[in-house]
Amino acid sequence: MSAERLAVRDATANDLPALRSLYLRARQDAFTWLETGNYTLHDFDADTAGEQIRVAASDAGTVLGFSSLWRQDLFIHHLYVLPGHERRGVGRALIDDLRNRYGSADLALKCQSRNTRALAFYHALGFEPVESATGPDGPNHLLRLPHTRSAR
What residue ranges do the domains of the chain occupy? 3-145
More confident residue, 147 or 40: 40
Residue 41 CA: distances (Å) to CA of 17, 71, 121: 8, 24, 26
pLDDT digits (tens, 9 = 90+) for 42-63: 899 999 999 999 999 999 999 9
Give residue 149's pLDDT band: very low, low, confident or very high (50, 70, 90).
very low
CATH of domain 3-145: 3.40.630.30
CB 115 within 8 A of CB 30: yes
CB burial string 39-54: b at 16+ within 10 A, e below: beeeebeeebeebebb
Average pLDDT, the chain: 90
| Distance of alpha carbon 141 from alpha carbon 115, whole angstroms | 10
CB 130 within 8 A of CB 144: yes
